[in-house]
Amino acid sequence: MSLDDLRKDRNEAALSDFSRAIAIDPSYTWARYQRGQVYREMGRYDEALEDFSLAIEVISDDSAYYAERGETYRLLRRYEEALEDFSRAIELDPEYAWALGSRGQVYRSLRRYDEALADLSRAIELRPTMSWVIAERGELYRTTGRQDQAIADFTRAVEIQPDYVWAIGHRAIAYREQQRYEEAISDLDLAIRIDDTQAWLFAERGEAQRLMGNLDEAIDDLSHAIELDPNYAWAFGSRGSAR
């Protein structure tokens, strides 16, 4: 049994138990909250939203309920609703680092960079070991052209969580943008050793190889990225440039 299959089985078992608890006691908000998280993990966002909203109707002053609904809205790219929920969670608990970090993600998605930086930095101040928030701030720095600060944050995130593929891969992008191609390729080699199922890692390594003039290696990596994701337009474009 694969890890994905095992996770699916556990989620189904958890759903069954939470649903039974709710059938016995429809006002059991904790069970609704937990079931909502399971639904969201399974990609069943409408059902997750329904559970979080029903929990909020019963207990309207629990910051976690708003934050989890906000995260579901964020995944659906319903950013204004996500902002509203994260802000409500932070009003209820001003030191809720996870909600601050998540609101920072939303602000970054909306290109409201100053607000994103303020939220992410405050979250890091409160919880200095939350690697994903540090990496999010790194991506904000990278997006706004501050590659040195981006690399510093990505490195800090990887020091906390050495197998953090997203942070390693995005540090590689920052290296590539600084024309530090060997360091970019080294990071991408590491990321691919950890997880060889992500097309974007092969595409990024292929692009770094192309920029170094290693065209055969570039074409190999970009072709593998396309095998993993046949609709990867950027990889097709980069491979075309390598031919």
**pLDDT at res. 6:** 53
Q: Exposed, middle or buried, 60 (CB in 10 Å: 0-12/13-18/19+)?
A: exposed
What's the length of the chain?
243
3.50.50.60, 3.40.50.720, 3.40.50.800, 1.25.40.10: CATH of 1-60: 1.25.40.10
Report yes or no on whether pTM surpasses 0.75. yes
Residue by residue, DSSP assigns 186-235 as HHHHHHHHH-TT-HHHHHHHHHHHHHHT-HHHHHHHHHHHHHH-TT-HHH
Q: Return the pLDDT at 5.
A: 53
Question: Which of 165, 169, 99, 155 has the alpha carbon at shortest distance from 127?
Answer: 99
pLDDT at 10: 85
Q: Which helix (H) or strand (E) holds 145?
A: none
Show me where the domains of the chain are located: 1-60
pLDDT of 202:
98
pLDDT one digit per residue (tens) for the chain, 243 residues = 444 555 767 878 888 889 889 899 988 899 999 999 999 999 999 999 999 999 999 999 999 999 999 999 999 999 999 999 999 999 999 999 999 999 999 999 999 999 999 999 999 999 999 999 999 999 999 999 999 999 999 999 999 999 999 999 999 999 999 999 999 999 999 999 999 999 999 999 999 999 999 999 999 999 999 999 999 999 999 999 999
Which are the contacts of 190, defined by CB distance < 8 A and separation ≥ 6? 168
What's the first-to-final CA gap in the chain, in angstroms?
A: 41
Whole-number Å distance between alpha carbons of 173 and 169:
7
